[in-house]
Amino acid sequence: MKIYKNYIGGKWVSSSSKKTFFSENPATLQKLGKFQLSNKKDVDKAVESARKAFKKWKEVPAPKRGDILFKVAGLLKRDKERLAKLVTVEMGKVINEARGDVQEAIDMFEYIAGEGRRLFGHTTPSELKNKFAMTIRVPIGVCALITPWNFPVAIPAWKIAPALICGNTVVFKPSSDTPLCAVELVKVLIEAGVPKGVVNLVTGSAEDVGQTLVKHKDVDMISFTGSVFTGEYITKNAGLKKVGLELGGKNPIIVMEDADINLAVDGIIWGAFGTTGQRCTAASRVVVHRKIKKKLENALLKRTKRLRLGNGLNKKTDIGPLINKKALEKSARYVSIGKKEGAKLLCGGKIAKLKGYYFKPTIFAEVKKNMRIAQEEIFGPIVAIISVNNLDEAINVANSVRYGLSSSIYTNNISYAFKSIQDIEAGLTYINSSTIGSEVHLPFGGMKDTGNGTREGGIHGVEEFSEVKTVYVDYSDRLQKAQGVE
């Protein structure tokens, strides 16, 4: 069994704990390797390495930093199929989705590399004569990036690329469910020419690695994607660090009476069961107009029953496994909750009789908006159908949860569409498309308990990983006092 190491200060090193943990294939339960179960000493070394490298890295001209990121994108293109297969093997998603995971990383490194020739500030007139005013962007310092398992290449790329282009250095803590994908991504960064110490990889538990990074006095920023519970912990314990949080969703697809039902079913299948429902943008609620409720249910049920569970490397597979046994048990538990609450189980609701962590795609009907299965993020292939009488009621249902990440409406009525854009409380709204499909040059993030107001992607990713400095240049050769003070 191969043993993989941490990457600190430009070297692959073992943890001082002398302990390791396994990563496994959720489709076959095959062990993929041993990884370092790191401790506080390892985190300290990684942070020290990043701090030491920061001074030189921030002085590298941003276009030169961009050149390295362009090389990363090129290497990811070269290795796309190999990395996609690794994503499927370690995370479980079907191979076409895994290719999309890697492509998203390619897109992000390409886009952000171009920001090396922008990193725009702005100029503005001063209120005084012979005085110049502008803003510039400066790096934050050492950024701790804590990433989840569901997009084991894409989400690290969404954080690493903007962190590096802005001149920061990085300590990267991946999920313990997908550490091999993280190792392979770091190898690409090394091959592209990222200097020693600029990116450091530390694997291990949330308690020993994650919490230590959050509280570390020499970490300047935390960027985290994961659960609300952990986000609340970070908020309470990070002190005055800059913090970026993306914390999940309970995303609705509204289907109005005038909608193209076949198109809506396409979107629901993709949103609810793509990545086995393990996306923060998953469509876990379908809010349907009562007039077409039965027709939609029948069409959705027919399509869902044809979905094929299996290993994601098999081209005929539609839905792969859940990530681990805990996720499998969670989905089963929420099916029991839904039944007890009085929802009607239309299909699925059971652990599949296959080796691996497979759960049958599940549809509940007759769901009320306040039921737990309509309120709580399940992160599994379970969708709740809620019927409404009109658009106002649909929007009310859409907004009735603590989250506000993604949303969708299927309609041919332009008034319905624009009212939804205006009134749905979410960071993303799709018209006649599913809740999934963010593009790297546009902001990604949500409202309410989905996060703390930060956005990733596009120029907002640059804003998240940089500070703004205001600069005044007075060339009047005398003391000038602002605000009209004589």
Domain boundaries, the chain: 6-247+451-471, 251-431
Is pLDDT above 90 for 385? yes
Beta bridge partners of 137: 468
The pair of structure tokens assigned to 392 is 């106002």
In this prediction, residue 414 carries a pLDDT of 98
Residue 486: pLDDT above 90? no
Instruction: Count CB-CB contacts under 10 A for residue 33.
Output: 17
Cα–Cα dist 176/158, whole Å: 19
Mean pLDDT of 245-265: 98
- With beta carbons less than 8 A apart as the criterion, state whether 234 and 214 touch: yes
CA neighbor of 296 nearest in space, from 216, 393, 363: 363
pLDDT band at 412; cut points 50, 70, 90: very high
pLDDT exceeds 90 at position 221: yes
CA-CA distance, 472 to 51, in Å (whole number)?
A: 29
Q: d(Cα 142, Cα 157) in Å, to the nearest integer? A: 17
- Residue 241 CB neighbour total at 10 angstroms: 21
Helical ranges in 274-347 per DSSP H: 293-305, 325-341
Mean pLDDT of 146-151: 98
Residue 409 pLDDT: 98
Query: What would the mean pLDDT of 305-313 be, rounded to a whole number?
Result: 98
Spell out the residues 6+ positions from residue 467 whose beta carbon is closer than 8 angstroms to its own: 137, 138, 139, 140, 242
Question: Whole-prediction pTM value?
Answer: 0.97
CA distance 28 to 15: 28
**pLDDT at position 481:** 94
Average pLDDT, the chain: 98
Mean pLDDT for 337-363 is 98
- Cβ atoms of residues 408 and 429 within 8 Å: yes
- Predicted confidence at residue 130, as pLDDT, reads 98
Say if residues 289 and 256 touch (Cβ distance below 8 Å): yes
280 is catalytic: yes
* Domain covering 251-431, topology: Aldehyde Dehydrogenase; Chain A, domain 2 (3.40.309)
**In the prediction, which pLDDT does 63 show?**
98
pLDDT-derived band at 335, boundaries 50, 70, 90? very high
Of 24, 90, 280, 456, the active-site residue reads 280
CA 465/CA 115 separation, integer angstroms: 12
Q: What is the mean pLDDT of residues 285-306?
A: 98
Q: Is 104 known to be catalytic?
A: no
Of the residues 246, 377, 456, 464, only one is catalytic, namely 246
Q: Quick one: CATH architecture of 6-247+451-471? A: 3-Layer(aba) Sandwich (3.40)
What's the CA gap between 335 and 26, in Å, rounded?
21
Count of CA atoms in the C-beta half-sphere (13 A) of 287: 29
Q: Residue 92 pLDDT more than 90?
A: yes
In angstroms, rounded to a whole number, what is the distance separating the alpha carbons of residues 120 and 134?
11
